[in-house]
Chains A and B, each alone.
Chain A
Amino acid sequence: MTQFRKGLWRGALAAAAVAGFVTSAAAQMELKIMAPAAPGGGWDQTARSMQQALTQSGVAKSAQVTNVPGAGGSIGIAQLVNNSKGDGNQLMVMGYVMVGALLTNKSPVTLDQTTPIARLTTEYEAIVVPADSPIKNAKDLAAAIKADPAKVTWAGGSAGGVDHIAAALFAKAAGADPTKINYIPFSGGGEALAAILGGKVTAGISGYGEFESQVKAGKLRLIGLTSAKKTANVDVPSIKEQGIDLEIANWRAVVAAPGISADQKKALTDAMDKMAKSKEWQEILKGKGWEDAYVSGDAFTKILAEEQARTKEVLTAVGLVKS
């Protein structure tokens, strides 16, 4: 993140904090949070954790969670855009995965139609190999991909998701043709992990949380995280620090319904600002191992637009989206 953007973020936070003290109506808010996924997944857990933090910290009077599963969130967002127009109490959890899903599903509804509120958490992607693999670091993996991208098999989540995009970006950064990568999608983290542990594939790519205990037990070797710098929880330098120019994070955020007034948007943003700072939210982040990546207001709107542009470019490059 550039210095400029950091400054912008801090400024936005400060402004929001000041605004927070002015409005006291927020405590009466009765929020509805939609998780555009089935119970149990990451978005659902985020929505339910928000519910817990919002009500326990007294930021909102109540918060009701609904699940609208389907098609990587395409059905949830359609419902938000079509049925909740102008509703200042409705929020929807979303994430980087939805950016890609809306593109590959050719969704008629786009994120531009929603009102961005705030980014909440982030998780870096991790690349791992089986413990007995000859590949020791990011350079080795990059060399193998450059030699023959098809022979390096990747196991990760669904096609067009953040894992797939990260694998394509890695190949591109390694100087190989990203359209030639041999990416094998698995449904759910468990199956992919089994394939990596069993040595069926060359490398695995997913959120670090999926691999953490296996890495610590010495069954998988961590090649690196997709963060800018080495993070405190791992012993390996980031992939970027190893000389492969790859930086990507799987973030989760909240957006609101289209057509809400400036006051309504401000009230929701204030509520999120307060929630993000609350003791309850911070405890949840620690408990779940989620990294705090709170950004609200215009700074988040800008990030969302940038991520959409970059994702479209990658997905077009690997042939999942026709330009």
Chain B
Amino acid sequence: MEAFTSLAGGLAVAIQPANLMFALIGVLLGTAVGVLPGIGPALTVALLLPITFKLDPAGSIIMFAGIYYGGMYGGSTTAILINTPGESASMATALEGNLMAKAGRGGPALATAAIGSFVAGTIATLGLTLLAPYLVDIAVSFGPEDYFALMVVAFVTVSATFGDSPVRGLTSLFIGLMLGLVGIDLLSGQSRLSFGVPELYDNIEVTTLAVGLFAVGEALYVASRRHIQEEKLEAVRGSLWMTKEDWKRSWKPWLRGTMFGFPIGALPAGGAEIPTFLSYATERRLTKHPEDFGKGAIEGVAGPEAANNASAAGTLVPLLTLGLPTSATAAMLLAGFQQYNINPGPLLFAQNADLVWGLIASLFIANVMLLVLNLPLVGLWVKLLTIPQPWLYAGILVFATMGTIAANPSPVELMMLTVFGVLGFLMRRFDFPIAPVIVGLILGPLAESQLRRALSISLGDPMTLLQSPISATLLTIALLALVLPFFLKGLGRFKAVED
């Protein structure tokens, strides 16, 4: 196996003490910035680029890769503990993860996230090693019509996040879709629903919406309920670590999450959000403990977290083989390569084999380091939950506000955060599910622009959606997922589909 010989050569590069140190610095920095909302891995790499200019290329690129993987780990920590996803990819993790934390199972939630990330990251990096050249051909053959069909599949599975009432769920989804229309329309360049406010031209920031609805809304809700009935938070109930049962319920979701995350992450317009939500929906359907969903089911953390990290490795497939940066962080990694006159692309594996295999080998090492680093921290993190409620939620509000300002220093952005916070409070108060809003905001604009692109290419002929084999297959899957449950369970309500 040629790949393994090359990988062994790469390990020799990565295991040099200096490079090991760079990997360690990278994962430490990455975890730190991942935990802080607002400062993502992309900004960190941007800030470090001028400093690393004089360093050895292998060392600094290995460090950047460490930051990238570390950021993916760190983002889940705040999502689970304080319901504040630092990035849109940790949104699905927050759903069940935070419920687990509130039920005193923050320890196992963090552990399954860390181990799941490790398992997924390792398998996906292995996939990167062996499959990158083949996968990239498939990825490039995905046209706009195929992406649209993929979004349709994702839309169908959103119903898993609806909770008890399909009407309320659909209402939430449509609020999200409406918010997704705000801003400059990508295809025509004209602005919609932005009322001349320049900050709205760039669409509504997913993290602002998520932090507003999840964190601020929750803080307001807790404050409003405080005198009626105080919610008792226990930091640790039962074991701090994963029990045998937890392991049993986690390993399959880890693997399935990886299967969603890696290939979709490798698609140039795939991203990390779709696989995390697909994984969440799948786990919800397949679980043997449906009663736990909505109360903190470990499967709902294990799957999406694995999908999240696997998609991070997937993103490197188009980056290394085609020079296609498909996420902000990947774009910064590309800038990092170019700083040394190294151009990722079809010639990279031939021209800079040492560097590429050194990078891939150090991804394996970074993964091990992250696991070793994060597991002992679990005990420390869950202590956060023992902070008295008023203090904790005040802290969350400070964090949420700071993160929003750090990402986008503008008063309009803060206003939006506040408005979304109030909306989140009202939705909680009147029992509307929150996740569909965010899914709508993420998927709506993507689906719209892909469909319009597809129709533009086909000169307005909708049959293009059925003529592409990939698209036709995906649409069939979506149709079956929508219709089959009705036939199987009789013409029940949506509720019956889920429960």
Contact = CB atoms under 8 A, between A and B. Distances in A.
Interface of A: 38-41, 44-45, 48-49, 51-52, 68-71, 74-75, 78, 104-105, 107, 150-151, 153, 158-160, 164, 182, 184-191, 193-195, 197-198, 200-201, 212-214, 216-217, 219, 287-289, 320
B335 A40 contact: yes
Contacts of B408: 69-70
B142 interface: yes
A212 B343 contact: yes
Contacts of B347: 213, 216-217
B186 A217 contact: no
A194 B324 contact: yes
A225 B328 CA distance: 27
B377 interface: no
B414 interface: no
A40 B457 contact: no
A193 B324 contact: yes
Contacts of A78: 198
Contacts of B341: 287
Contacts of A320: 188-190
Contacts of A287: 338-341
9 contacts: A48-B50, A71-B199, A107-B198, A184-B453, A185-B189, A190-B325, A194-B268, A288-B338, A320-B189
B53 interface: yes
B343 A158 contact: no
Nearest to A288: B338
Interface string B284-315: 00000000000000000000000000000000
Interface in B185-210: 185-191, 198-199, 201-202
Contact of A158 (B42, B186, B198, B453): B186
B482 interface: no
Interface hub of A164, A193, A194 (most chain B Cβ within 10 A): A194
B395 interface: no
B212 interface: no
Contacts of A107: 198
A288 B199 CA distance: 31
Interface in B301-356: 318, 322-326, 328, 331-332, 335, 338-341, 343-348
Contacts of B1: none
A40 B453 contact: no
B476 interface: no
B135 interface: no
B123 interface: no
A190 B184 CA distance: 20
Contact of B322 (A41, A74, A197): A197
Contacts of A44: 46
A190 B326 contact: yes
B346 A200 contact: no
A195 B142 CA distance: 8
B492 interface: no
Contacts of B335: 40, 45
A94 to B, nearest CB: 16
Interface in B22-54: 42-43, 45-47, 49-50, 53
B141 A198 contact: yes
A217 B346 contact: yes
Nearest to B346: A217
B144 interface: yes
A214 B46 contact: no
A194 B201 contact: no
B410 interface: yes
A159 B201 CA distance: 13
B189 A214 contact: no
A214 B345 contact: yes
Given A187-B186, A198-B142, A217-B346, 7 more contacts: A71-B184, A78-B198, A153-B457, A185-B186, A185-B189, A200-B143, A201-B457
A197 B323 CA distance: 12
B243 interface: no
B156 interface: no
Contact of A40 (B46, B143, B198, B199): B46
A185 to B, nearest CB: 6
Contacts of A38: 42, 328
B344 A194 contact: no
B405 to A, nearest CB: 13
A48 B339 CA distance: 12
Given A75-B199, A105-B198, A217 B268 contact: no
Interface hub of B139, B326, B341, B456 (most chain A Cβ within 10 A): B456
B187 A70 contact: no
B492 to A, nearest CB: 40
Interface hub of B198, B269, B453 (most chain A Cβ within 10 A): B198
Given A44-B46, A194-B140, A105 B323 contact: no
A284 to B, nearest CB: 9
Contacts of B340: 287
B409 interface: yes
A283 B449 CA distance: 40
Contacts of A151: 459
Interface string B131-154: 000000001111110000000000
A197 B321 CA distance: 13
Nearest to B408: A69
Given A39-B332, A194-B140, A216-B347, A68 B409 contact: yes
A39 B48 CA distance: 11
B410 A198 contact: no
B43 A39 contact: yes
Nearest to A161: B189
B201 A70 contact: yes
B456 A213 contact: no
Interface hub of A44, A164, A187, A198 (most chain B Cβ within 10 A): A198
Given A70-B199, A194-B318, A287-B339, A160 B456 contact: no
Given A105-B184, A201-B457, A39 B46 contact: yes
Contact of B143 (A150, A158, A195, A217): A195
A72 B61 CA distance: 29
Given A190-B318, A190-B326, A213 B343 contact: yes
Interface hub of A190, A288, A289 (most chain B Cβ within 10 A): A190
Contacts of B50: 48-49, 51-52
A216 B326 CA distance: 21
Q: Which 4 pairs from chain A and chain B are nearest by CB?
A: A159-B189, A213-B345, A39-B46, A217-B346
Given A69-B202, A190-B318, A200-B457, A158 B46 contact: no
Contacts of A71: 184, 198-199, 201-202
A188 to B, nearest CB: 7
Interface string B172-191: 00000000000011111111
Contacts of B45: 40
Nearest to B330: A190
A198 B140 contact: yes
B30 to A, nearest CB: 16
